[in-house]
């Protein structure tokens, strides 16, 4: 599964997010709303426009950047006074929602960023963020209950800690939330980062993080699908053992180091 496959899926049919049914179209540079940009969002027409003639890597980035911006808009985080915490929560919950509603396209995007993704049911014990290695651990149960924490990113110790009671969708959202804090720290995204720059940083940080941590993302995708199946969400379009190559064989456990 390659960038060409992602492009084919994205152009073939609309995807759903928030109140929108979004089509993806390619357009000549001179017809783009902003000629110098590789991608633009036109919500009045419910479409993402991507400039014709881009290289595969540039096409993938333009699409991911548009998804990041769309997520923030739908989550009402396009205000210039948005903090790093706002941007973190918005992208973690919004991207998880987008993948749950569009699993075939979500899997294609992950595979376009990291072709080595394979089905995985074990939670990661370590992730790479930039050139740094971060540990993934459980929060002590009493600490999670006393502080009412779902998770936290210890920036000084390079450690992501998660409530051991988390499961399925909420586990996926909180794991991504804390990983985004780590990415923002490494890529120097702060409360003072201009919004347009923040979206670009998040796009590039995500693409790099997916490429460097295929096992973590395979696991993340699997627990999202498991959560969707438990709540009766619509079937994973195209993401079947025979069609899309992804299957979660039984419960996905959370055996993190303590």
Q: Residue 14, SS3? A: coil
Query: Which of the pair, 237 or 14, is modelled with greater confidence?
Result: 14
| Ranges assigned E (strand) in the chain | 15-17, 20-27, 39-42, 47-51, 126-129, 132-138, 151-154, 159-162
The pLDDT assigned to 258 comes to 37
Q: Measure the CA–CA gap between 66 and 41, rounded to whole angstroms.
A: 7
Instruction: Name the pairing type of β-strands 20-27 and 15-17.
Output: antiparallel
Contacts of residue 21, defined as CB under 8 A and 6 or more positions apart, other chains included, come to 14, 15, 46
Tens-place pLDDT, residues 85-143: 999 999 999 999 999 999 999 999 999 999 988 877 788 999 999 999 999 998 877 77
Q: Residue 21, SS3? A: strand
Specify the pTM.
Answer: 0.85
The pLDDT assigned to 251 comes to 35
The residues spanned by each domain of the chain are 3-230
Instruction: Name the pairing type of β-strands 132-138 and 159-162.
Output: parallel
**Average pLDDT score over the chain:** 85
Tens-place pLDDT, residues 172-210: 999 999 999 999 999 999 999 999 999 999 999 999 999
């Amino acid at each position: 599964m390659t960038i060409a496959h992602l492009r084919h899926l994205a152009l073939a049919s609309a995807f759903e997010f928030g109140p929108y049914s979004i089509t993806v179209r390619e357009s000549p540079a001179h017809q783009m709303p902003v000629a110098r940009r590789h991608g633009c969002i036109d919500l009045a027409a419910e479409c993402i426009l991507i400039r014709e003639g881009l290289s595969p890597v540039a096409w993938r980035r333009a699409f991911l950047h548009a998804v990041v911006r769309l997520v923030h808009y739908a989550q009402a985080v396009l205000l210039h006074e948005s903090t790093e915490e706002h941007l973190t929560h918005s992208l973690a919950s919004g991207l998880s929602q987008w993948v749950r509603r569009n699993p075939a396209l979500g899997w294609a995007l992950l595979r376009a960023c990291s072709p080595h993704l394979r089905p995985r049911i074990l939670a990661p014990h370590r992730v790479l963020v930039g050139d740094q290695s971060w540990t993934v651990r459980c929060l002590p149960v009493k600490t999670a209950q006393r502080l009412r924490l779902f998770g936290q990113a210890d920036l000084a110790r390079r450690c992501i800690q998660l409530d051991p009671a988390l499961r399925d969708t909420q586990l996926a959202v909180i794991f991504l939330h804390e990983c985004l804090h780590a990415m923002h720290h490494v890529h120097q995204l702060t409360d003072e980062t201009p919004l347009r720059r923040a979206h670009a940083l998040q796009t590039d940080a995500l693409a790099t993080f997916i490429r460097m941590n295929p096992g973590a993302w395979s696991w993340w995708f699997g627990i999202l699908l498991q959560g969707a199946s438990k709540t009766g969400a619509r079937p994973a379009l195209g993401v079947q053992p025979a069609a899309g190559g992804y299957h979660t064989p039984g419960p996905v456990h959370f055996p993190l180091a303590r």
